[in-house]
Amino acid sequence: MNDKDDFDDGRVVFYYSRERRLKRASPSVRKFNEAAPPRKSNLFRTLTATRPLQFMFISVVTVCVAVIIASLFITSENTRVLENNTVVVSVATAGDKSYITVKKTAKAAGAYSGAVDIAVSFKGENQPIDARRVYFTPETEEVFRFSVPFTGKKMLLLFEAGAGRALFTISL
């Protein structure tokens, strides 16, 4: 093929042939347009194929890492560790009584098992105090429920087990 094929009777003939256009291109353009061997696709390449997908992927990973870090360092006001046991306390009121639920979860094999003294009162002086004793067993999880004959806005609970103490201040 020569330049004579492009012109016929003085008019320009337009071809849409990629191969024909690439014949006249520079070697670097030809190399760029050569078919590369297909790469094996995987999930990571699919998730990060374009710039917006890369940004979305990084955002999702950042949020997940932030949630994990926050859950490790932020504890609830009604959760404490007492002698290798995680203790979660919840209080519900009905009428003039308060119902307390204590959930114990053993953190390790050497967690405390034995008598646990619980004192319940209100913030302030000359408030009534109710004392209870429960027994933690070697079980992984246990739930204890009891009621106290009073109710108020801010309840204080003191747990004593062996040499450890845990103080809870729960607002109702």
Task: Supply the Cα-derived Rg of the chain in whole angstroms.
Answer: 36
Q: What is the pTM of this model?
A: 0.55
Structural domain harbouring 26: 3-73
pLDDT tens track for 93-146? 888 888 889 999 988 778 888 999 999 888 767 778 888 899 988 888 999 998
Clarify whether residues 48 and 116 are in a common domain: no
Clarify whether residues 154 and 122 are in a common domain: yes
Clarify whether residues 87 and 58 are in a common domain: no
Clarify whether residues 67 and 33 are in a common domain: yes
Q: Hey, what's the torsion of the CAs at 156, 161, 162, 167, to 10 degrees?
A: -30
Q: Please identify, among 41, 73, 105, the residue that sits at the C-terminal boundary of a domain.
A: 73
Task: Please report the DSSP string for 19-53 in residue order.
Answer: HHHHHTS-HHHHHHTSPPPPPPP-HHHHHTSSHHH
The number of folded domains in the chain is 2
Clarify whether residues 67 and 143 are in a common domain: no
Counting Cα atoms < 13 Å in the Cβ hemisphere of 52 gives 0
Helix or strand run (H / E) with residue 147: strand 141-148
Pairing of strands 97-106, 114-122: unpaired
CATH number at residue 116: 2.60.40.10
Clarify whether residues 40 and 107 are in a common domain: no
pLDDT tens track for 23-69? 888 888 888 888 777 778 888 888 888 999 999 999 999 999 999 99
